[in-house]
């Protein structure tokens, strides 16, 4: 086994923060419509929340373990945490600057007003006070801190306020705490006053600052300040848990009260008050972020969607529909194998397929994996209806899908209530595969008898109608008997009726997926050593698995031309002489989130192309059921190659990694970005 120190590995955490810097560059880009720029700031804000909730929390815990002197990336913890603090604080400051010095002033020129402090027109005074009394005063519980009323438990990422109070009679200074329940709106639309087409929004923080005195009627409120505490939100479920659903429900109640890891405070908050909050929650100095106005920006990502100003938004995109709503999806798949490229192609055929299957008397069974699907889901509704209609429905639903655990627990219960078979994976082996199998009686007209036929869907993305509108993914639909049999056997493995087996075309087990990728990479190395043309193109969301890094470095050393299209975290360092000089790393950040996983190997001219649900991360290759499948039809493989790989490598608007932690922006004037070209068809 090789040692990690034998080749360079960039820190996963720092690489992830660098990715967020590339996303934030979209908010800084004045060529992008203004409302879309606002959304990019919201996305980065949300990403930082999750970064501290999960990745940073894990590093912090490991740094406290005396046995662990180095992180998995080989970095010393004190240095790594310091570097993270610097990068994250810089990102926070950039968000604040672009939002308040650029985007909000530009929105005001368009008569769109985001009121984040108590500076609103005088004519709104009565309305705002009434609003505060109705929406806030009646539901919050203000607490004055003293011996009998200790500091309350602050819920993870909740918006809270600390007030400096002075008694009416004794002038004694004390502190008050107000925590806003999640159901209180964070922003309110101001009723239009006249025919002038203005759009004004008052944020809850402005109301709190203006009317805090109403919550403490027996005190003088000297001042008040907003703060937000981010807590460790990772869940630990024992591998020995007998009832995963029950164990998970117990852990979910504790998620909001994990150890504090980051504190966001008002830019006006005095140091003395910051020190008090910091000490109480045991937060590091470099995890104190100063924020003006709202901090949970992701809650406002759709705030301006209904404003009818087309020039402030991306042009409306209507996905292509490959068949009419009235046509049978079964008949369409019967004709030939199909590839859909979302969101350029509509996700409707997948939803329609399930709806048709739920109602078709000839359909016998439906088997499907679910990782993320949402609180409201046409997919899940169709599965429930299918079970109610007497179909045999089996759903492998992943309860441990991070931040979707509660949603999936609820769907699991609903499915079981209508008689569906529900399968849950083990805590140490998540099911991240995206597959659907439908069996149906079909009339064979030649012999005038019914036969059983299977229809399969495999994908690179989740069964989420919402995500399919903004995430780029491929869907593969087929009646290929070998592939359908492989899927059937994988479901048998998930249900426990089959032990490990060797599929004919698919790869599904962690060790199997890893071995297959290594075999394909090594084969290109052999061709390169023989002086033959060799080429690898891999597109994933993230790449940090040490074993795959080693084999990609080896391939480059042997002369293989390697293009890696990695949207986010990438731990490989390109351009090192005799090691990675044949590796090019591209990162595409556009209107849609690049999400598909594609693997191309030249194979001495006999090209092989695979799609997968798997990234090149340790979790995907060590602890997850992932399905990797070949696209053998040359026409379909070419569609995937052209739109998923070639156009990304030649994207007129992309980033190229030049060294550790450094990306160079590539912008070709008068040329459209790849995503725009695919939209145009």
- Contact between residue 386 and residue 358 where contact means Cβ atoms under 8 Å apart: yes
The dihedral over CA atoms of 148, 153, 158, 163, expressed in degrees to the nearest 10, equals 30
State the burial class of residue 151 (Cβ atoms within 10 Å of its Cβ: 0-12, 13-18, 19+). Answer: middle
| Whole-number Å distance between alpha carbons of 358 and 368 | 13
> How many Å apart are CA 576 and CA 8, to the nearest integer?
9
**288-291 and 260-266 strand pairing:** parallel
Q: Pull the structure tokens for residue 618.
A: 């340790």
Hey, which residues are catalytic here? 432
d(CA 130, CA 124): 10
Least Cα distance to 560 among 586, 592, 595, 530 occurs for: 530
Dist. CA 549–CA 517, nearest whole Å: 12
Q: Alpha-carbon distance 162 to 185, whole Å?
A: 19
303-335 core/surface letters (b: 16 or more CB in 10 A; e: else): bbeebebeebbbeeeebeeebeeeeebbebbee
Question: Quick one: which of 532, 530, 533, 535 has its CA closest to 552?
Answer: 535
Closest to 180 (Cα-Cα) out of 115, 114, 227: 227
What would the 3-class secondary structure string for 193-224 be?
CCCCCCEEEEEHHHHHHHHHHHHCCCEEEEEE
């Amino acid at each position: 086994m090789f040692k990690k120190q034998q080749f360079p590995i960039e820190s996963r955490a720092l690489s992830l923060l660098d990715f967020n810097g590339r996303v934030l560059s979209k908010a800084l880009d004045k060529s992008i419509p203004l409302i879309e720029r606002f959304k990019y700031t919201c996305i980065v804000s949300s990403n930082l929340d999750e970064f501290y909730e999960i990745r940073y929390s894990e590093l912090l815990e490991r740094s406290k373990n005396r046995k662990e002197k180095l992180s998995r990336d080989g970095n010393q913890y004190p240095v790594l945490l310091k570097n993270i603090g610097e990068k994250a604080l810089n990102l926070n400051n950039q968000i604040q600057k672009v939002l308040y010095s650029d985007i909000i002033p530009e929105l005001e020129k368009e008569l769109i007003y985001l009121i984040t402090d108590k500076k609103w027109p005088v004519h709104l005074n009565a309305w705002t006070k009434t609003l505060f009394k109705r929406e806030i005063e009646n539901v919050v519980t203000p607490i004055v801190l003293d011996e009998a009323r200790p500091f309350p438990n602050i819920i993870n990422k909740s918006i809270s306020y600390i007030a400096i109070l002075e008694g009416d009679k004794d002038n004694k200074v004390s502190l008050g705490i107000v925590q806003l329940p999640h159901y209180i709106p964070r922003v309110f639309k101001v009723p239009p006053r006249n025919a002038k087409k203005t759009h004004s929004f008052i944020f809850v923080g402005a109301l709190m600052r203006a009317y805090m005195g109403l919550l403490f009627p027996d005190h003088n409120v000297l001042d008040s300040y907003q703060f937000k505490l981010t807590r460790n939100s990772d869940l630990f479920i024992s591998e020995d848990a007998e009832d995963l659903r029950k164990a998970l429900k117990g852990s979910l109640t504790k998620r909001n009260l994990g150890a504090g890891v980051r504190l966001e405070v008002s830019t006006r908050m005095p140091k003395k008050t910051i020190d008090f909050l910091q000490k109480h929650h045991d937060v590091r100095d470099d995890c104190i972020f100063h924020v003006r106005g709202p901090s949970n920006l992701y809650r406002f990502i759709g705030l301006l969607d209904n404003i009818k100003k087309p020039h402030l938004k991306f042009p409306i995109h209507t996905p292509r529909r490959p068949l009419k709503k009235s046509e049978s999806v079964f008949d369409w798949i019967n004709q030939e194998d199909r590839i859909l490229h979302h969101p350029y192609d509509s996700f409707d055929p997948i939803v329609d397929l399930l709806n048709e299957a739920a109602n078709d008397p000839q359909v016998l069974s439906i088997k499907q994996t679910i990782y993320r699907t949402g609180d409201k889901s046409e997919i899940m509704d169709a599965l429930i209806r299918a079970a109610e209609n007497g179909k045999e429905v089996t759903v492998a639903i992943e309860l441990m899908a991070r931040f979707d655990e509660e949603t999936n627990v609820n769907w699991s219960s609903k499915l079981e209530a209508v008689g569906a078979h529900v399968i849950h994976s083990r805590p140490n082996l998540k099911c991240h595969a995206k597959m659907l199998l439908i069996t149906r009686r079909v009339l064979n007209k030649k012999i005038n008898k019914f036969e059983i036929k299977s229809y399969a869907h495999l994908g690179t993305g989740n069964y989420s109608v919402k995500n399919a509108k903004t995430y780029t993914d491929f869907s593969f639909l087929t009646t290929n008997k070998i592939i359908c049999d492989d899927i059937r056997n994988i479901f048998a493995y998930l249900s426990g009726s089959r032990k490990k087996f060797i599929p004919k075309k698919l790869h599904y087990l962690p060790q199997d997926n890893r071995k297959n990728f290594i075999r394909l990479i090594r084969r290109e190395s052999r061709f390169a050593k023989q002086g033959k043309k060799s080429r690898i193109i891999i597109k994933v969301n993230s790449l940090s698995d040490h074993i795959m890094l080693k084999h990609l470095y080896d391939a480059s050393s042997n002369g293989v031309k390697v293009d890696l299209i990695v949207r986010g975290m990438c731990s490989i360092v390109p351009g090192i002489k005799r090691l990675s000089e044949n590796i090019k790393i591209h990162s595409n950040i556009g209107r849609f989130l690049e999400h598909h996983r594609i693997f191309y190997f030249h194979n001495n001219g006999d090209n092989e192309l695979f799609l997968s649900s798997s990234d090149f991360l340790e979790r995907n290759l060590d602890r997850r059921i992932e399905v990797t499948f070949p696209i053998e039809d040359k026409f379909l493989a070419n569609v995937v190659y052209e739109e998923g790989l070639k156009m990304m490598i030649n994207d007129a608007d992309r980033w190229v990694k030049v060294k550790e932690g450094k990306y160079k922006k590539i912008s070709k004037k008068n040329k459209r970005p790849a995503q725009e070209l695919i939209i145009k068809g």
